[in-house]
Amino acid sequence: MAWGAIATWRMAHDGVVEAMRLLAEKGEAGDAVETLIKTVEDYPYYKSVGFGGLPNAEGILEMDAAFMHGDTFEIGAVAGITDVKNPISVARKLSQDKFNSFRVGEGATKYSMLEGFERKSMLTERAHKIWEKRLIEIHENNLNPYDGHDTVGAITLDQMGTLTAGTSSSGLFMKKPGRVGDSPLSGSGFYVDSEIGGATATGLGEDLMKGCLSYEIVRLMGEGFTPQAACDKAVYEFHDKLTARYGKAGAFSLIAMNTKGEWGVATNVEFTFSVGNDQQEPQIFIADMGANHTTNIQPITQEWLEAYEKRIKAPIE
């Protein structure tokens, strides 16, 4: 059986490597996707997910996450959860509940406490400094407060043919309290069907929610499109439609994988992702929007990787 893993952004690569190790040892897709995303949530220098994520306008770090099982269509999700170490694990646990499987705000946080999930102050000193600096910049330069909304979204395929999907995000930096994006919403932030394939999204949630692109990509794969063709068709046609009707389209990028471990990506911005399967070692690629509704995809360079590592760890002045 084919197997593999794909996830959004460079930040997911270490998680993809660990997920691939589990899958190579005939581990379950659900364990692999949870492990992959926990790796991102735990790393303090990724400022859009988990520990070290950037807070809302009031300085509170609210996190969103979701998990979906492609065999059963079980979905669990949390939105606006606070002070819990791994939101993806809470979402996965909720997927096992027939009722009340999507919890928000205080209800999500209380559920995590009652179920014994590890509590942790997720707002780091570094993230708080970034927040304070942004407040000053907004006040002095009359800037748009919103800056950054990178979700880790992942799809895993195990050797038993099961596909799972997961997402985790601290959402839009400087968002209003209670704001929720696409990441925990089925069909928008993620969708997976073990008989077809899966897709997840990252970008501006307010615009991604207008198109339900994750579901659309899976639907197209079910009609016979390859993952790449499905991504190109869904993303670029909606980009054009949204631009024509709404006047503009925010940033969005989507990834997909099918039951053969084949993968696809489409984006309207410069976008990195990590992917591996039984035929290909995990590798980081960079993509952007090409001509004629196609996607340009190239491996990253060592120079790019070194600049990235330097940038995310640069001191906050």
Q: Which residues are catalytic?
A: 151
- Judged by DSSP in three states, 37 sits in helix
Do the annotations mark residue 50 as ligand-binding? Answer: no
Do the annotations mark residue 182 as ligand-binding? Answer: yes
Do the annotations mark residue 226 as ligand-binding? Answer: no
CA-based nearest residue to 216, from 183, 243, 193: 193
Pairwise CA distance, residues 43 & 315, whole Å: 16
Do the annotations mark residue 82 as ligand-binding? Answer: no
- Contact between residue 218 and residue 198 where contact means Cβ atoms under 8 Å apart: yes
- Contact between residue 270 and residue 286 where contact means Cβ atoms under 8 Å apart: yes
Pairwise CA distance, residues 24 & 35, whole Å: 14
Do the annotations mark residue 178 as ligand-binding? Answer: no
Do the annotations mark residue 181 as ligand-binding? Answer: yes
Decide: residue 293, CB within 10 A, 0-12 exposed, 13-18 middle, 19+ buried: middle
Do the annotations mark residue 202 as ligand-binding? Answer: yes
- Contact between residue 14 and residue 39 where contact means Cβ atoms under 8 Å apart: yes
**Pairing mode, if any, of strands 75-81 and 102-104?**
parallel
Strand spans (E) along the chain? 4-8, 63-69, 75-81, 102-104, 152-157, 163-169, 190-193, 197-203, 252-258, 263-267, 271-277, 280-289, 295-299
| Binding-site residue ranges for substrate | 179-182, 202-205
Q: Which residues are annotated as a binding site?
A: 179-182, 202-205
